[in-house]
């Protein structure tokens, strides 16, 4: 089961339900994911961390302030200096998704990622410049990484995704 698709609504419930109390937010999140997945789900919320556990494994996501990379985030995937706003790890699939904001200009961030990925041994399989940002896909050792660079609210936004090849 792909937990990542369930984590986004749960993170939204966490943010919206923060004022309603932890137990109410957990219950609402469990019900939403159970309905979406037709399965048995356990949701735990601690501060800015959401953990979704099913028979297939668990997904841990963080959103908000003081978000950190998961300890086992691949060291060969470059992370530009900035503020991490979301970090998600799906233990069942060993997939990671990280969103961050940086003061680096989008064009510079895009070019930096192309350079750093190659420097870290990744093979660029596709890239497309879009406006001042763009997308980059790369592969290495039976893994895939995707980088999306854009702008929002006068900030450069980066989304990183990395996973084993299926």
Residues 23-56: pLDDT tens digits? 554 555 555 555 555 566 666 666 666 666 666 6
- Report DSSP state, residue 71: T
Report residue 107 as tokens.
């064009």
Fold type of domain 67-166: Alpha-D-Glucose-1,6-Bisphosphate; Chain A, domain 4 (3.30.530)
Q: Which residues of the chain have pLDDT under 70?
A: 1-65, 166
Domain locations in the chain as residue ranges:
1-60, 67-166
Distances, alpha carbon 1 to alpha carbons 29, 33, 52, 70, 78, in Å:
17, 12, 12, 21, 28
């Amino acid at each position: 089961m792909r937990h990542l698709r369930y984590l986004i609504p749960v993170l939204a419930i966490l943010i919206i339900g923060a004022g309603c109390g932890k137990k109410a937010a957990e219950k609402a999140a469990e019900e939403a994911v159970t309905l979406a997945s037709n399965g048995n789900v356990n949701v735990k919320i601690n501060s800015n961390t959401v953990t979704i556990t099913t028979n297939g494994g668990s997904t841990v996501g963080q959103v908000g302030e003081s978000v950190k990379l998961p300890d086992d985030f691949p060291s060969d995937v470059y992370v530009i200096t900035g503020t991490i706003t979301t970090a998600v790890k799906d233990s069942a699939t060993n997939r990671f998704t990280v969103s961050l904001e940086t003061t680096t200009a989008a064009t510079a961030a895009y070019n930096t990622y192309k350079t750093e990925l190659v420097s870290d041994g990744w093979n660029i399989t596709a890239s497309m410049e879009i406006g001042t940002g763009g997308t980059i896909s790369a592969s290495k050792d039976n893994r895939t990484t995707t980088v999306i660079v854009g702008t929002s609210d006068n900030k450069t936004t980066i989304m990183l995704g990395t996973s084993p090849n299926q």
